[in-house]
């Protein structure tokens, strides 16, 4: 009996793993304070409706107002089920791109055209392929299309 008590008081040998601690119950687990984000802050951005997908004909472009308080509008180009949205500001000197309000595409609808100096941009990613800002890109806006409605961030274009 005395030997058993004595053995329990001695520290484990260096090559023995330390005794496992009992984990806390699940209801007591919580993130460290520095990693905790309240629910209302977990959505990166609120969304707003841009328009219905049906309101933007396939192969066409359309202009929209920018975010509240912004001087920069947006424009969208639809290619089938895909919708590309950009801030309506040319990377060359920042002017709006549309040559007629709401018209952003070349005659064959293969490229976005800037009305000011004629820069041409690829529709899929906004890269300038020709013109004074060749190699620059349009400011792309993230888009969600759900149930036939096009959504963008409420801060898009700011
Ligand atoms: S402002 Fe668009 S090409 Fe110059």
17-74 tens-digit pLDDT: 777 777 777 667 665 666 555 555 544 568 999 999 999 999 999 999 988 888 899 9
Q: How far is CA 119 from the centre of its chain?
A: 25
CA distances from 95 to 52, 55, 152 (A): 27, 25, 22
Q: How far is the CA of 77 from the centre of ligand 1 (A)?
A: 19
Taking the CA of residue 93 as reference, the ligand 1 atom at the shortest distance is 1
85-125 tens-digit pLDDT: 999 999 999 999 998 898 999 999 999 999 999 999 999 99
Question: Which domains are present in the chain?
Answer: 45-153 (2.102.10.10)
CA distance 85 to 110: 15
Sequence-distant contacts of 106-111: CB under 8 A, at least 24 apart: 109/59, 109/60
Q: How far is the CA of 136 from the centre of ligand 1 (A)?
A: 11
The pTM (predicted TM-score) of the whole model is 0.72
pLDDT, greater one: 7 or 62: 62
Ligand 1 within 6 A of CB of 62: no
């Amino acid at each position: 009996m005395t030997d058993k008590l004595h053995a329990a008081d001695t520290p484990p040998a260096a090559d023995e793993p330390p005794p496992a601690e009992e984990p806390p119950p699940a209801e007591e687990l919580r993130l460290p304070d520095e990693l905790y984000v309240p629910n209302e802050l977990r959505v990166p951005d609120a969304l707003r409706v841009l328009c219905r997908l049906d309101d933007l004909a396939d192969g066409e472009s359309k202009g929209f107002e920018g975010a509240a308080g912004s001087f920069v509008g947006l424009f969208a180009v639809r290619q089938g089920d895909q919708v590309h949205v950009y801030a309506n500001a040319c990377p060359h000197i920042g002017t709006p791109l549309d040559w007629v309000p709401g018209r952003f595409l070349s005659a064959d609808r293969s490229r976005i055209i800037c009305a000011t100096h004629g820069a041409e941009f690829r529709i899929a990613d906004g890269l300038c392929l020709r013109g004074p800002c060749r190699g620059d890109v349009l400011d792309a806006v993230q888009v969600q299309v759900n149930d036939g409605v096009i959504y963008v961030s409420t801060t898009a274009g700011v």
